[in-house]
Structure 1
Amino acid sequence: MKVDVSRETMDLLKEFQALAEKWNSRINLVSGSTLPAFWDRHISDSLQIFENAAPFSGHWADLGSGGGFPGIVLAVAFRETDLSFTLVESDQRKATFLRTAIRELSLTNAKVKCDRIERIPSLNADYVSARALAGLPVLLTFLDLHLRASGEAWLLKGRNWQAEVDEARENWAFNLETFPSKTSDEAAVLKVSEVSHV
Structure 2
Amino acid sequence: MIASEEEARSFCEALCDPPAIARLERFIHLLGEENEQQNLVSSASLHHVWQRHIADSLQLLLHVPRETSPWIDLGSGAGMPGLVVAIAFPDLSFNLVESRKRRVAWLQGVVDHFDLQQCRVYGSRLENVESAPMQVICARAFAPLEKLLSLSARFSTPDTHWLLPKGRSAAQELAEQPESIRATFHVEQSRTDCEAGIVIGKGRPPVR
Q: TM-score, normalised by structure 2?
A: 0.87
| Aligned pair partner of 1:52 in 60, 63, 67 | 63
| Aligned pair partner of 1:20 in 31, 34, 40 | 31
Q: Which runs of 5+ in 1 are unaligned?
A: none
| Aligned pair partner of 2:188 in 172, 176, 179 | 179
The 1-side partners of 2:48 and 2:162 are apart by 27
The 1-side partners of 2:155 and 2:169 are apart by 24
Q: Which runs of 5+ in 2 are unaligned?
A: 1-7
More helix by proportion, 1 or 2? Answer: 2
* Alignment check: 8 A CA contact 2:71 2:95 kept: yes
Q: Deviations over 1:81-133 (max 9, x none)?
A: xx311100001110110111111112111010000012222132121110111
| Aligned pair partner of 1:70 in 67, 81, 90 | 81
- The structure-2 alpha-carbon separation of the partners of 1:145 and 1:25, relative to structure 1 and needing over 3 Å to count, comes to same
The 1-side partners of 2:160 and 2:23 are apart by 28
% identity of equivalent residues: 32
Name the structure 2 match of 1:119: 128
Q: TM-score, normalised by structure 1?
A: 0.91
The 2-side partners of 1:39 and 1:153 are apart by 23
| Aligned pair partner of 2:166 in 147, 157, 164 | 157
Q: How does 1:134-153 map to 2 (within 5 A)?
A: 134-153=143-162
- The amino acid across from 2:84 in the alignment is V
- The structure-2 alpha-carbon separation of the partners of 1:126 and 1:174, relative to structure 1 and needing over 3 Å to count, comes to farther
More strand by proportion, 1 or 2? Answer: 1
- The structure-2 alpha-carbon separation of the partners of 1:174 and 1:111, relative to structure 1 and needing over 3 Å to count, comes to farther
Is 1:192 the counterpart of 2:180? The answer is: no
